[in-house]
Amino acid sequence: MVTPTYVSPLSTAGVTLNEDLMYYLSSLYANEDINTSTGLKQNASKQDNKVITYPNPVSSMLNLNTEVLNSKIYSVSGELMDAYETTKQHFDVSKYSKGLYILQAKLSSGEYSMNYFMKRT
């Protein structure tokens, strides 16, 4: 099976996405300004107004504006990179390859937040 390559803000960041994922991400960013150098929303750190991630893109330490109860980090292909069952506010992502990742975090309210971040070299 051949994975299509798209000319898009996301592919300019060195990430090749399959058709389903490209459609999903483009629906998330509908009517939003996209930063063409990173492929992320101009204000990507406030994707769901619950958890703010910074810096984005990140090279070593990803920070959150609040502590989360537990969290998981996935690659865009769905591979679980790390899972944490303890309260965290800082994540060392220096070992990850360059690309797009998803942080899923459980808040103290019981709600879940999903934030996208770009790992750079």
Q: What is the pLDDT of residue 50?
A: 77
Q: Is the pTM of this model over 0.85?
A: no
Higher pLDDT, 85 or 44: 85
> At residue 1, does pLDDT exceed 70?
no
The 10s digit of each residue's pLDDT in 62-83 is 999 999 999 999 999 999 999 9
The domain 9-119 having CATH identifier 2.60.40.3080: the answer here is: yes
Contacts within 8 Å (CB) and 24+ apart, 40-49: 40/116, 40/118, 44/115, 44/116, 44/117, 45/115, 47/114, 47/115, 47/116, 48/113, 48/114, 48/115
Mean pLDDT of 104-108: 92
CB 40 within 8 A of CB 99: no
CA dist 8 and 36 (Å) reads 8
Q: What are the pLDDT digits (tens) for 88-97?
A: 999 999 999 9
Per-residue pLDDT tens over the stretch 8-62: 344 434 555 555 555 555 555 554 555 555 555 554 444 444 789 999 999 999 9
Q: Using the predicted structure, report yes or no on whether residue 119 has a pLDDT greater than 80.
A: yes
Each domain of the chain, given as residue ranges in start order, spans 9-119
